[in-house]
Structure 1
């Protein structure tokens, strides 16, 4: 909790913090706090009304399902999202042999250094096609 909130919620610390304020300033502060309280209460009341409307709609749908003979379990198979299949890795399009090691590349993404070096030495990508 911040220091401000600690002072605000502790009786003696709050009294010490506002001791230099005049009565008019204290009344102004109290009016601002009352306004905040009223706003917060109205927000909570709106949330409660929205939740009540939501719960009523859920109950209405539940009763409709019951009348038709459906249960939540019946919806489980329909509501489950299909599992996406992972794509197979791309086949290698280019390969080069360096020091007895075979290095392959799909042609996508950053070009491996061994291919760059070979291109700089005058070879072409067609030389590396599989």
Structure 2
């Protein structure tokens, strides 16, 4: 951090290089110029890649709108979701024999509320 502070403050830099002759100082300036060009090229490449990514997203969005599709439509077909699915914490076999699962997040499903109203303990339904 001190090195960066020295480089970015003219008076600190002047003090740091006071014992360097002009040939050495020109070498430092030359090296810094090369590094600057490399950094600029890297930044330009990143900016170009980001612009290309944004353009591709906009093109896909336009095509989806033209086709009348929404992101949810893609999620259905591909099995992908914009949110990761939360694993269920609780499982209750309903009166119809079908398992009901709940992650413990959001509103408690009716079957779990009814189970508790009948005196059941929700922790007894925890999936290990």
Normalising by structure 2, we get a TM-score of 0.60
Give runs of aligned pairs for residues 17-56 of structure 1, distance below 5 A: 17-56=16-55
Between the two proteins, the alignment pairs up a number of residues equal to 88
Q: Which has the larger radius of gyration?
A: 1
Residues 1:82 and 2:67 are matched in the alignment = no
Q: Deviations over 1:61-102 (max 9, x none)?
A: 10110111123465577614332123624xxxxxxxxxxxxx
Q: Which residue of 2 aligns with 1:13?
A: 12
For the aligned residue pairs, the C-alpha RMSD in angstroms reads 2.1
| TM-score normalised by length of structure 1 | 0.60
Would the aligned equivalents of 2:6 and 2:13 in 1 still touch at CA under 8 Å? yes
Q: Which residue of 1 aligns with 2:69?
A: 70
| CA–CA distance in structure 1, aligned partners of residues 54 and 13 of structure 2 | 42
Find the aligned partners of 1:15 and 1:81 in 2 and give their Cα distance. 55
SS in structure 2 of the partner of residue 15 of structure 1: helix
Unaligned regions of 5+ residues in structure 1, if any? 90-130
Question: Structure 2: which 5+ residue stretches go unaligned?
Answer: 90-125
Mapped contact 2:88–2:127 kept (Cα < 8 A): no
Structure 1 pair 21–54 and aligned structure 2 pair: CA distance change class (3 A): same
